[in-house]
Amino acid sequence: MKKILVLCLAAAALAGTALARNDELKMPWSDVIDGPEGKARLDGSVRFLFGEKTLPAGAERKGEEIISRIKKGASRNDDKTACRLAAVDALGAMQDKAKQIGANAVVDLVSYYKNNTFSSATHYECHAGGTGGHLTFKATYANIPAK
């Protein structure tokens, strides 16, 4: 009887894990940059170039980074807000690091969730689940000469 109970409990635990929510959302960069949180956090001193192969000719590479963020959402209706806030937080951290290392741009900025690249000039990838919005960005810091 104990063996059956243990097996049932193990099966229930595995089923709960297997059913964990992980909704993939493609969110617009414009909501991050132009939204109130983005305008408050991003000061315009660092350029963001979204998508692969956006390093301009003549730019100096200053390093690369992979950055992840999670923001809690109150409900499924809050997934987009959690994703937007996670993106603002990640871009804000990249802006701060760029300034620290003497870069004026973050280029080749792509989503890199679980080592899978999603590249777009207009959207980023975020995953929403029971703990909120999860995202990972991969980017290169650069110094782009003034025109």
Reported as a single tens digit per residue, the pLDDT across 3-58 is 654 444 555 554 444 568 899 999 999 999 999 999 999 999 999 999 999 999 99
pLDDT of residue 35: 96
Distance separating alpha carbons of residues 48 and 54, to the nearest angstrom: 10
> With the C-alpha atoms ordered 22, 41, 104, 27, is the resulting torsion angle positive or negative?
positive
Comparing 14-23, 61-70, 123-132, the range with the smallest average pLDDT is 14-23
Q: Fill in the amino acid letter for 72.
A: K
Out of 3.30.110.70, 3.40.50.80, 1.10.240.10, 3.40.630.30, select the CATH number for domain 21-143: 3.30.110.70
Q: Specify whether the CB–CB gap between 61 and 139 falls below 8 A.
A: no
* 130 token code pair: 């029971």
Domain ranges in the chain?
21-143
Q: What pTM did the predictor assign?
A: 0.84
Mean local confidence (pLDDT), 103-127: 97
- Please say whether the beta carbons of 140 and 64 come within 8 A: yes
Q: Please give the angle made by the CA atoms of 130, 132 and 135, to the nearest 5 degrees.
A: 125
